[in-house]
Structures are given as structure tokens and as C-alpha cells.
């Protein structure tokens, strides 16, 4: 199957009309019809049901449209990336961010990259889970990841960025919102919403609850921090989230410190042996970038490029945000 055949097919499938598709492709209708016929002969199945009134997709055509759009999009991105590098750009980096780090570090990091690495093109993937980011680093689908350690892959190096604490996110009308500070044990009978079971925050939260003598009742999970807070605002339950999540201006939510809440770490990671000059220049940005906390205080960060930590396999499941 040639790329031009795929482009012709997608145009006809989206327009549901050979004449309009021909106009969109800036070609005559008869050659377009012939190209689609050749494609159907090559695939050995009809892609369209044609009548005098309409053109509809067959089940095979529906499948080809779904997959074909993705293929054409990938080709366009590839062409763009190659053109960027060919035009003298520094290169392309694929970067993943976990949970609240997407909102906390991504904006200032992108701003600094635009100033100091103007030829860099970033392909950013936000609100990712650490296990997926680790797998993507190992398999070369990501170049850098901002995640919650520990990481149990010997193929991944990481450097500590800073530490956060968990705070309680409460519906504004919750009785607990009247307190200035909470004890975790006081919340034993409450309903919680949280990140998926494999996340760092969930893991640390559950361990802290067990130390206080209870198992939390989690009624709903959400991978995205914004969705999690929306569930809290809707009154579905309470949540323990990283302190920097207070940067979200969600109506109907209040945040309260938890006296015995444990800390959570944040680190930047890359594949061992794959620290190219471009990756090194990008990692150096983390030395000076900072994201102000909700109350205006600067978020903690390393005063100089943090030391590289070689990860070691651990027996417990990987934690993540």
C-alpha cells in the first residue's frame, strides 16, 4: 500500500463523496476513483458501499480509516521532526511528566528551554504513570522523564529534584475543612478518591494509613490530577495529594496540612548510556528552573545539578505519581 493511496482513501472516507474528495485533493474525480479501485483490488476487499445517492464505508473501510489516520499523522510528525533537524534545529526530545509535575514543572521548564535551547523541539507527554514512563525509557520511546521514585529498572538513571509532602484535598463543605490541620487517623472512616493502585502517592498514602491502624476506603480512582480534584469537588471523597497540587484553583476544594503525612520524592530520569549532548543540555535546565508553590514560595530544588543515582531492582512494586 502506497502512502498516496492511503491519503486518497482517507479523503474520500471523510468526505463520503468522491467529487468533494477530488476537490480537496486538487485532482480530477476519475483518476481518484481509479486509485481507490486499485487499492481495493490490492487489499482484496471493498472499502466503500457506493450507490447513486451516497458513499458509505464497509467494516474493512472503517478499520482502514481508523488506522490510516494514525499512520498519516505519524508520517506528518516524522516529516516535521526530520525537517526541524535538517534545518539546523538542536533536535527533538520526548519528555514524560507524572501527575502534578506536569503542572508544576512543565511551564517553567518549557519557558527556559525556549530561551536557552531555541532549536529544541519538545514532544511532551503529561500525566503519565511511572511504570509506563520507565518502560518507555527502556524501549526508547521517551528520552527524559520526571517521575516519582523509586524505580526498579537497572536500565534507568535518575537524579533527585526535590521532595514534597502530602496534604488533604477536601470538599469545601466538609466538616474537616473547618480545621486548620488534620491528623490522618481522624480520617479513618472517610471515603477517599485516589490515584491508581500502582502510583507512588497511593502506595505511600496506604502505608501511612496502615501505620495509623486502618485501611482507607477508596471509592474511585483517577490517573489525572485534574480529574482527581474534580471528583473531590463533586463530594465523592477526600484525597491525599502532593502539596504543590494546591496550585490548582479548583472551586469547591480546600487543602489542609496533615500532621503526620509522609513525604514523596520527585526525580528526573533517563535511559542508562543514552545521555546524549542534547539530553545533557536539557537536564542542566533542571538546575535553575523552579515553580512557585501556591502560596508564592519557591518550590525546593537542587542548588546545583544533582548527582546521578543508578537505580537498583527493588522487591516492592514501582511507585509513581
pLDDT in tens, the chain (321 residues): 889 999 999 999 999 999 999 999 999 999 999 999 999 999 999 999 988 778 899 999 999 999 999 999 889 888 877 776 655 456 889 999 988 787 778 888 988 888 888 778 889 998 888 888 999 999 999 999 999 888 889 999 999 998 888 899 999 999 999 999 999 999 999 999 999 988 888 888 999 999 999 999 999 999 888 899 999 999 999 999 988 887 766 789 999 999 888 888 999 999 998 888 888 888 989 887 754 443 433 333 333 334 455 444 333 333 344
Cα→Cα distances 56→18, 51, 65, Å: 11, 9, 12
Phi, psi angle pair for 110, to nearest 5°: -65, -40
Contacts 24+ apart (CB under 8 A), 65-72: 65/9, 65/10, 65/13, 65/14, 68/6, 68/9, 68/10, 68/13, 69/10, 71/6, 72/3, 72/6, 72/7, 72/10
Domain 3-86 CATH (choose: 1.10.150.650, 3.40.50.620, 1.10.10.10, 3.90.70.10): 1.10.10.10
Indicate the CATH number for domain 91-321. Answer: 3.40.190.290
Which distant-in-sequence residues (6+ apart) come within 8 Å of 89 by Cβ? 119, 120, 121
pLDDT of residue 90: 61
pLDDT of residue 318: 36
Q: What is the C-alpha separation between 71 and 49, in angstroms, rounded?
A: 23
What is the 8-class DSSP label of residue 270? E
Tell me the domain boundaries of the chain: 3-86, 91-321
Do the first three CATH levels of 3-86 and 91-321 match, i.e. the same topology? no
Instruction: Please tell me whether residue 121 adopts helix, strand or coil conformation.
Output: strand
pLDDT of residue 117: 83
pLDDT of residue 248: 67
Neighbours of 18 (CB within 10 A): 18
pLDDT of residue 317: 35
Amino acid at each position: 500500500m502506497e502512502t498516496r493511496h492511503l491519503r486518497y482513501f482517507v479523503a474520500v472516507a471523510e468526505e463520503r463523496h468522491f467529487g468533494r474528495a477530488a476537490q480537496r485533493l486538487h485532482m480530477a474525480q476519475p483518476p481518484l476513483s481509479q486509485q481507490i479501485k486499485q487499492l481495493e483490488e490490492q487489499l482484496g476487499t471493498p472499502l466503500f458501499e457506493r450507490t447513486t445517492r451516497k458513499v458509505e464505508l464497509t467494516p474493512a473501510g472503517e478499520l482502514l480509516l481508523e488506522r490510516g489516520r494514525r499512520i498519516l499523522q505519524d508520517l506528518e510528525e516524522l516529516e516535521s521532526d526530520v525537517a526541524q533537524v535538517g534545518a539546523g534545529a538542536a533536535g527533538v526530545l520526548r519528555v514524560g511528566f507524572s501527575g502534578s509535575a506536569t503542572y508544576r514543572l512543565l511551564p517553567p521548564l518549557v519557558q527556559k528551554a525556549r530561551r536557552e535551547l531555541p532549536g529544541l523541539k519538545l514532544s511532551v507527554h503529561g500525566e503519565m504513570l511511572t511504570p509506563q514512563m520507565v518502560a518507555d525509557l527502556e524501549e526508547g520511546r521517551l528520552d527524559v522523564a520526571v517521575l516519582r521514585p523509586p524505580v526498579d529498572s537497572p536500565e534507568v538513571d535518575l537524579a533527585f529534584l526535590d521532595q514534597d509532602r502530602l496534604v488533604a484535598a477536601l470538599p469545601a463543605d466538609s466538616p474537616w475543612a473547618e480545621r486548620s490541620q488534620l491528623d490522618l487517623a481522624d480520617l479513618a472512616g472517610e471515603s477517599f478518591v485516589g490515584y491508581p493502585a500502582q502510583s507512588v502517592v497511593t502506595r505511600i498514602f496506604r502505608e501511612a494509613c496502615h501505620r495509623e491502624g486502618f485501611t482507607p476506603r477508596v471509592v474511585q480512582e483517577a490517573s489525572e490530577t485534574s480529574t482527581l480534584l474534580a471528583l473531590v469537588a463533586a463530594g465523592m471523597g477526600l484525597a491525599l495529594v502532593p502539596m504543590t497540587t494546591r496550585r490548582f484553583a479548583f472551586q469547591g476544594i480546600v487543602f489542609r496540612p496533615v500532621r503526620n503525612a509522609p513525604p514523596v520524592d520527585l526525580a528526573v530520569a533517563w535511559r542508562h548510556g543514552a545521555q546524549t549532548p542534547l539530553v545533557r543540555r536539557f537536564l542542566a535546565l533542571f538546575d535553575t528552573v523552579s515553580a512557585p508553590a501556591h502560596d508564592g514560595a519557591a518550590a525546593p530544588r537542587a542548588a546545583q545539578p544533582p548527582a546521578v543515582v543508578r537505580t537498583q531492582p527493588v522487591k516492592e512494586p514501582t511507585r509513581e505519581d
